[in-house]
């Protein structure tokens, strides 16, 4: 473990510790949820899931549960091992968001990612986090394919996924239905990357 104390950032009461065994790519290091998170990291983690705009991009609802229950739910999922989550840390060790592999099976997983610090969007952190988790999925976990779903109008996310090597896969056309003035639900597009495709871009 390399001790990494943030210089001149006094709001961090606790030293941020970064291990050289954690997945990393470019300016990003991934901190496994199985590690002890600092109170500041828990706060950022929780706030990210409470943000209405982020929830909307993610196709979910902003979290309403109190932070103590949120911690309990996350730790329960970590203990069950049915999803693998990481905090996304920047070059200074600051928590930017989360990237997760869920719907885990022997060969496949689904990827989800959120960068909670909106002022850090569009600066390459998301792409690096996706690259780091893909390298982990294919070389450490032995997966053969990683999939995801994103909104068709989420062009920023699609661009980040494409830069990391994801490709669009064809999905069946939406069912034909009459529209009685209802706003149609936003459409998801599926993307995926196989180990062979990843080896071609990594
Ligand atoms: C999606 C997300 C993880 C991407 O991370 P990020 O750090 O912002 O992404 P990056 O900077 O690595 O890449 C974004 C790319 O999209 C481009 N982009 C930004 N807005 C865009 C738009 N409206 N249309 C097209 N491309 C756009 C950026 O220019 C960049 O491409 P470039 O490097 O070729 O210039 C992050 O924006 C996020 O958390 N968004 C909210 C939650 C979300 O959408 N999660 C995904 C759910 S599936």
Instruction: Compute the average pLDDT of residues 96-103.
Output: 96
Which residue's CA is the closest to the ligand 1 atom numbered 18?
156
pLDDT for residue 53 = 96
* Domain limits for position 9: 2-144
Ligand 1 in contact with 160 (CB < 6 A)?
yes
Cβ-in-10-Å burial (0-12, 13-18, 19+) of 28 comes to buried
Determine the pLDDT at residue 176: 62
What does the pLDDT look like over 52-87, one tens digit per residue?
A: 999 999 999 999 999 999 999 999 999 998 789 999
**Ligand 1 in reach of 150 Cβ (< 6 A):** yes
Is 16 touching ligand 1 by the criterion CB < 6 Å? no
φ/ψ of 16, rounded to 5, equals -90, 125
75 part of a folded domain? yes
Least confident of 5-14, 78-87, 114-123, 150-159: 5-14
C-alpha to C-alpha distance for 41 and 94, rounded to whole angstroms: 8
In a domain, 26, yes or no: yes
Nearest-CA residue for ligand 1 atom 35 is 122
Residue 155 near ligand 1, beta carbon < 6 Å? yes
Rounded alpha-carbon distances, angstroms, from residue 29 to 64, 89, 93, 119: 29, 5, 8, 19
- The span from the CA of 45 to the CA of 65, in Å, is 13
Per-residue pLDDT, averaged over 1-20, amounts to 53
The C-alpha atoms of residue 146 and residue 195 are separated, in whole angstroms, by 8
114 CA: nearest ligand 1 atom: 39
Q: How many domains does the chain have?
A: 1
| Interval 35-53: pLDDT, tens | 999 999 999 999 999 999 9
State yes or no: pLDDT of 25 exceeds 70. yes
pLDDT in tens, 125-148: 999 999 999 999 999 999 999 999
| Cross-strand bridge partners of residue 151 | 188
Q: Above 60 in pLDDT, residue 6?
A: no
For residue 73, report the distance from its CA to the centre of ligand 1, in Å: 28
Q: Where are the beta strands (DSSP E) in the chain?
A: 2-4, 16-18, 24-25, 28-32, 84-89, 95-102, 108-115, 145-151, 167-168, 188-194
In a domain, 98, yes or no: yes
Q: With a 6 A CB cut-off, is 151 part of the ligand 1 pocket?
A: no
Residue 30 placed within a domain: yes
In the predicted model, is pLDDT for residue 10 greater than 60?
Answer: no
CA 140 – ligand 1 centroid, Å = 26
Q: Would residue 172 count as lying in a domain?
A: no
Using DSSP, state whether 63 is helix, strand or coil.
coil
d(CA 103, CA 82): 7
pLDDT by residue (tens digit) across 142-165?
999 999 999 999 999 999 999 999
Integer Cα distance of 155 and 3 in angstroms? 37
* Percent above pLDDT 70 for the chain: 84
Across the chain, what does the average pLDDT equal? 89
**CATH number of the domain bearing residue 132:** 3.40.630.30
Nearest to 75 by CA among 37, 107, 41: 37
């Amino acid at each position: 473990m390399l001790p990494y104390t943030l210089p001149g950032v006094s709001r961090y009461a606790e030293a941020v510790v970064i291990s050289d065994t954690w997945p990393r790519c470019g300016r990003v290091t991934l901190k496994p949820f199985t590690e002890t998170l600092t109170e500041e990291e828990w706060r950022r983690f929780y706030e990210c899931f409470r943000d209405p705009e982020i929830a909307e991009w993610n196709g979910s609802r902003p979290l309403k549960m109190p932070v103590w229950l949120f911690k309990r739910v996350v730790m329960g999922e970590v203990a069950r091992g049915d999803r693998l989550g990481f905090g996304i840390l920047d070059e200074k060790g600051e928590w930017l968001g989360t990237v997760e592999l869920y719907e885990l099976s022997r060969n496949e997983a689904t990827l989800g990612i959120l960068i909670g610090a909106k002022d850090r969007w569009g600066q390459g952190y998301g792409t690096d986090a996706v690259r780091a988790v893909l390298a982990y999925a294919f070389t450490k976990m032995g997966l053969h394919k990683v999939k995801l779903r994103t909104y068709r109008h989420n062009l920023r996310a699609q661009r980040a996924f494409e830069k990391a090597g994801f490709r669009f896969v064809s999905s069946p056309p939406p069912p034909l239905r009459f529209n009685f003035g209802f706003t149609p639900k936003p459409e998801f597009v599926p993307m995926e990357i196989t180990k062979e495709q990843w080896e071609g871009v990594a």
